[in-house]
Amino acid sequence: MVLKHPPMGWNTWNTFGEDINEKLIMDTADIMAESGLLEAGYEYLVIDDCWAERERDPATGKIVPDKKKFPNGMKFVSEYVHKKGLKFGMYSCAGVRTCANYPGSFDHEYLDAQTFAEYGCDYLKYDYCFKPDSIDGQVLYRRMGLALRSCGRDIVFSMCNWGKDDVWSWARSAGAHLYRSTGDISDNFSSFKEIAVSQMPKLGYSATGCWNDIDMLTCGMYGKGNVALGGCSDEEYAAQFALWCIFGVPLMLGSDLRSMNEATKRLVTNRELIQIDQDPDGRPPLCLPLDQDSQERFVVFKLLSDGEYALGFFNMSDKKRMLPLYFEKLGIPFASGYGLQLTDVFTGETLEVQRECMTPLIPAHECRVYRAKMVRVAG
Ligand code: GAL
């Protein structure tokens, strides 16, 4: 199975942590299917950690769903999710216990892959806590990669080892479709800024079939929920979503969809940004820092299919700043005779053709993102 685009969906962890149950999943599935999210591309509904009983079934050795949270079992939930036209994702861990101390899949990889296939699972997030010291992490991810390939069902393998052990260099060969490259996001500006900046030198490893995963989005959490530490403004959420899209990484929503406001919905269903994220060429962007020793201001330029481009200016500093860009840094010197025609992805406004350079003035923590075409401006 080839994962042609970075996956889009929703995951329970950011808002709900341990507080998950069948009703939450079914209600969220309804909303995804009926509110335009599925139509916008959000197709995976993923149950993260804390879905199981604390111990395996002693008779079968299988992990079993928590009977209070999921009284009708997982197949029932997955069938409901599928009926809504969505795909169903679950979670386990390469170690002996999950990060929240539920049974992990260590030494049960093949049995568990089989169990996930029986549930009708389409996606498995696979974490890295409680790994025995005696064994190499890469070996354990390879094991689950092979177990999933042989379980008789197409299951997206979402490795989550937080970027340890140079994961970008072997994730693809281990069968992963995506690999988490960072620690956990918190719902505040400095957390997502740090995560994004940390991956700028490594985005070149991300490509069709196996994508760099920089964690679930916090857009729309406004400081509420499991990973909420402060919250963000709408402008900051816009910068977060735009970064994820221009980086071409998975778009997994993490807010409570039952109470999503209009501003969040408009942002996360922004068609232009989603197209930039899901571009069929799957090319990584060029990231150009504008300051010598910091990543406070940067430009991101991504080649899209059909000869188009995405151009983003990110002011991650705490002050309103100019972001001067000379197009020669993008490969378009003055002598080329070409300029850029830019359409703002948030407002739809088209600017006059820009040539040689431009210097947008951008408020603190905000961005400007354009869809661009190269146009001939001189003989
Ligand atoms: C972390 C992981 C989070 C979440 C959590 C569950 O290791 O990075 O995304 O899955 O475990 O316990």
pLDDT digits (tens, 9 = 90+) for 229-246: 999 999 999 999 999 999
184 is catalytic: yes
Question: Which residues does residue 211 pair with via DSSP β-bridges, in sequence order?
Answer: 178
Residues of the chain with CATH 3.20.20.70: 8-277
Q: How far is the CA of 184 from the centre of ligand 1 (A)?
A: 7
* Ligand 1 atom closest to the CA of 183, numbered from 1: 8
Mutation pick for ligand 1 pocket among 19, 46, 127 (CB with most ligand atoms within 8 Å): 127
User: Ligand 1, atom 9: nearest CA belongs to which residue?
Assistant: 184
Q: Is the CB of 48 under 6 A from ligand 1?
A: yes
Residue 372 has pLDDT above 70, yes or no: yes
- Looking at the CA of residue 216, tell me the nearest atom of ligand 1: 9
Mean pLDDT, range 291-309, rounded to an integer: 95
pLDDT band (50, 70, 90) for residue 314: very high
What is residue 379's predicted lDDT score, i.e. its pLDDT?
A: 61
Percent of the chain at pLDDT exceeding 70: 100
Does the C-beta of 124 come closer than 6 Å to ligand 1? no
Q: What is the pLDDT at residue 289? A: 96
Per residue in 138-151, pLDDT (tens digit) is: 999 999 999 999 99
- Ligand 1 center–CA 64 separation, angstroms: 19
Given pLDDT bands bounded at 50, 70 and 90, which one contains residue 298?
Answer: very high
CA–CA distance, 88 with 66 (Å, rounded to integer): 17
Compute, in angstroms, the gap from residue 227 CA to the centroid of ligand 1.
10
- Which protein residue's CA is at the shortest distance from atom 12 of ligand 1? 99
Average pLDDT over residues 308-331: 98
Q: How far does the centroid of ligand 1 lie from the alpha carbon of residue 17, in Å?
A: 9
Place of tokens 């997982």: 74
User: Does any ligand 1 atom lie closer than 6 A to the CB of residue 127?
Assistant: yes
* Nearest protein CA to atom 1 of ligand 1, as residue: 99
**Residue 184 beta carbon below 6 angstroms from any ligand 1 atom:** yes
CA–CA distances in Å: residue 198 to residues 13, 91, 136, 179, 191: 22, 25, 24, 15, 11
Annotated catalytic residue 281? no
What does the alpha-carbon distance between residue 7 and residue 211 come to, in Å, rounded to a whole number? 9
pLDDT at 293 over 80: yes
Top CATH class of 8-277 equals alpha beta
| pLDDT, tens digit (0-9, with 9 covering 90-100), for 195-227 | 999 999 999 999 999 999 999 999 999 999 999
- Active-site residue, from 127, 187, 213, 215: 127
pLDDT of residue 378: 79
Residue span(s) of the chain under CATH 2.60.40.1180 come to 286-376
- The string of pLDDT tens digits covering residues 10-19 is 999 999 999 9
Query: If you measure from the C-alpha of residue 350 to the centroid of ligand 1, how many angstroms do you get, rounded to a whole number?
Result: 41
Report which ligand 1 atom has the smallest distance to the Cα of 215. 9
Pocket test for ligand 1, best of 20, 99, 164, 217 (most atoms within 8 A of CB): 99
pTM score: 0.98
SS3 for 290-305 is: CCCCCCCEEEEEEECH
Ligand 1 contacts CB of residue 49 (under 6 A): yes
Q: How far is the CA of 340 from the centre of ligand 1 (A)?
A: 42
Looking at residues 343-371, what average pLDDT do you find?
A: 97
Would the CB of 213 count as within 6 Å of ligand 1?
A: no
Q: Measured between alpha carbons, how far is 51 from 18 in angstroms, rounded to an integer? A: 8
Is the domain spanning 286-376 CATH 2.70.98.60? The answer is no
Greatest Cα-to-Cα distance within the chain, rounded to the nearest angstrom:
79
Q: Is 102 in the pocket of ligand 1 (CB under 6 A)?
A: no
Percent of the chain at pLDDT exceeding 90: 98
Q: Which of 172, 256, 158 is nearest to 214 (CA)?
A: 158
DSSP H helices in the chain: 13-16, 22-34, 37-40, 73-83, 109-119, 137-149, 189-199, 234-247, 262-268, 271-277
